[in-house]
A and B are shown apart, each in its own frame.
Chain A
């Protein structure tokens, strides 16, 4: 089994590569579409597109390397085929157009899915699932499609090279890609320059990068060839630059690096065609000679040319040296070897390094540091308090008191800032999730023969990585529903006076400490009458009840609807909307829907931006204290006797005119006995008739007197989840012998959870319980409280599911 730390590193690196790959493919698709719209066939040849294609190529190449290191040979072979096709795109054999981009999109998506499955398998050391084998076959077919696309003859630039003043040997050293780029730039009417520089061996890396960065916006740096060197401690380089500029524009710049510039073409008087043809024959293996050096070198990136480019030049120099060239650098073997070690390792690891510009840190390490910072903050608070007490007991002047108070406040503020910054480290953007959603939408629309325009907004919105990892499923589910059932066929849309192409907008925005992700479409919307009919048909609601439109729409989140095929507007694939809601609830979020028949539908997914630093309400139960995310609490109540209905340990309470199951937190935690509650009477507190066992509430009132008491039902104001984390209001405690309970919502209904006591609301840092507790459901983590006590942070949805509470 692979070393876990190593695997974690590979996966982390892969995530970054996949992120880059997804974004770059989006860019290419967009450009391919624009190119077609504007009928500008040359758009795919602009420098930014060329660089994007190169990045895609490099990402796939690096992924291929990672797959090999992880032992995923089959996937690696498929990635190699994809890489070959991308190489054809780079070399101009395959012209970038929307159709090609769509296939590349499918290939990438399949690769990502298979890679994720295989990575999971490696982590768990399990067997490969049959679905993965099928996926491999499908990916192979997609690559067959890619391979069967007609190729144009590659522009190797052989015929055009004659117009450049390069020696036969230099031409022989050019890679197919470099030749292609020369040809493309010649066609675009660019001027070519050779820039000769000589750098000391010990400074060549930094000097070369600096030169590359300086030339970055002057043109395309196509190749770096060996140049002349005057002593053994130096290496000469000849850079080939193409651009729309004059010699004088870069002379001063190059002189700063001690170099010279000379225009080498295009020119009609240079080079005989025979020389070029001979050069083309001299290295017939060049067409297949793509190596890591070339992959990494590519064009000049934002940080200038990579060290590998220099290494490539040195390698070329070495090759040339073998042919006794007069232009060889005269570096001795030792210096050359050392240089290659420093700047040109030709392994896949190096290609990974060249793409990574950040330090990777395991999330658990960040959590650990966050925990330490929180500890320190608590200690500082305590010290401040003690200092205050000491000052009261001693004769300290007002100035000293003031200074001490100010100082302690400053430290406290700094610690709070520190905590917040550490939480930010966990934040990642929704870019990859949104990109995938966009691709999914386009593919699904294509499969269904519909026309859909997808708009993505707010993809840079950052939320906790743990949430990003889980929010994809709900987004994709809603999106599938929108395209499958919301967007009408073109003919129907035209008849309805709508544009032929449907419109879907996926947008993310921050609202305080919550992120709102909305998915809206201009389709047919959800018909509330049909929803109600269906709800009555499956027994979820009684036929004689009055429902508002909003209440009816919420019925689509009840389990019975997910399989209701005849009601296509709300049926889905795989998990139902009830499961979507459950996932959202588990994240401390919620899902809302709004619809206007005939005009469209809008789903809104609201999630906290982080699960680490949360607003929690502390409660007591069975002699212990527990923390609950306030986002999961609808209301705090004290239940009096007349509000509790049921006997024999089976209880419900009346709450806001509804009958709501009452369950003891002790029972949910497995700390107390339980007997099942009876099925609930039909009413607004429920929407369907399936009930599981619900624990008794016998522990609520230990002396049994509560149920005979006449008391008012006291409740607080609505404290529904919203963006500004409102403080939970404790209900007025008018009499003794009332049971504190909080109302929460699980799936499609409300439930009251009785506790022993309410404490207070506070901001907490949720700490992980570690890998041994990974499979424990219902507990999100733990938090240190004063006095060294630990409170478990509850995941109410998980607890309710674990205790077989069916709602």
Chain B
């Protein structure tokens, strides 16, 4: 339990979760996840809400000043240094909410040295894997992850979604993220 609460505190930056909707459960519920249950961090970026798997996250920190990275893919805002590690900052909202006050960074696990920018973390939810739905191919890009129509090539970062607080929340797919470098 302690371990989970630490994780929860880390993810939410020690702030209380503002998890809304029926799908949201408490951290204690998450601790009792069964084999077909997945835990997701739900976060908001501007008007958008997206999620990423708890198992793919390392923690949440305040985002320092971002150094722009010339030539980077559109979704990469720049780089920061977190605990001495150079981290690329991923803005899943693309340019739609670039002016929104994003000040939290969800550090993602893996070799990609990646952090996901967010306005704030809503909470950790636990849900049955069967609740996940596939996003149709043509709708899996910026329409669900933000960004206005036209001008910017579509960047597909999610393949599935779930219902949360009455809205469809796309789940960040790290395999798709890894293709950003191509």
Q: Contact residues of A with B, CB < 8 Å?
A: 364, 368, 371-372, 374-375, 624, 669-671, 767-779, 781-782, 784, 788-792, 799, 802
Contact = CB atoms under 8 A, between A and B. Distances in A.
Nearest to B65: A789
B101 interface: no
B106 interface: no
B43 to A, nearest CB: 20
Nearest to B64: A788
B81 to A, nearest CB: 5
Given A790-B86, A792-B79, A772 B114 contact: yes
B178 interface: yes
Contacts, number: 90
Nearest to A371: B84
A773 B67 contact: no
Nearest to B182: A775
Contact of B84 (A372, A671, A768): A372
B127 interface: no
B129 interface: no
Nearest to B85: A371
B80 interface: yes
Interface stretch (B13-21, B44-52, B68-76, B148-156): B68-76
Contact of A791 (B64, B67, B178, B181): B67
B65 A769 contact: no
Interface in B54-109: 64-65, 67-73, 76, 79-81, 84-86, 88
Contacts of B53: none
A790 B88 contact: no
A773 B88 CA distance: 8
A774 to B, nearest CB: 5
A769 B79 contact: yes
A788 B88 contact: no
Contact of B181 (A624, A775, A782, A784): A775
B112 A771 contact: yes
8 contacts: A368-B85, A371-B86, A624-B68, A669-B70, A770-B112, A772-B73, A779-B71, A781-B86
B84 A784 contact: yes
Contact of A790 (B67, B73, B114): B67
Contact of A770 (B65, B73, B81, B88): B88
Contacts of A788: 64-65, 81
Contact of B69 (A368, A767, A792): A792
Nearest to B111: A771
Size class of the contact patch on chain B: 20 to 34
Contacts of B79: 769, 782, 790, 792
A781 B71 CA distance: 13
A778 B71 contact: yes
B132 interface: no
B107 to A, nearest CB: 13
B84 A772 contact: no
Contacts of A669: 68, 70
B84 A769 contact: no
Contact of B70 (A368, A670, A789): A670
Contacts of B38: none
B155 to A, nearest CB: 13
Q: Most chain-A CB neighbours within 10 Å: which of B65, B67, B72, B180?
A: B67
Contacts of B112: 770-772
Given A769-B86, A769-B113, A770-B111, A777 B71 contact: yes
Interface in B156-177: 177
A768 B111 CA distance: 11
Nearest to B83: A375
Contacts of B71: 670, 776-779, 802
B68 A671 contact: yes
Contacts of A774: 181
Contacts of A374: 84
A364 B112 CA distance: 12
Contacts of B73: 772
A792 B67 contact: yes
Contact of B113 (A624, A772, A791, A802): A772
Contacts of B84: 371-372, 374-375, 784
Given A770-B113, A773-B88, A775-B181, A784 B70 contact: no
A769 B71 CA distance: 13
A127 to B, nearest CB: 15
A44 to B, nearest CB: 48
Contacts of B181: 771-775
A375 B81 CA distance: 11
Q: Most chain-A CB neighbours within 10 Å: which of B73, B85, B180?
A: B85
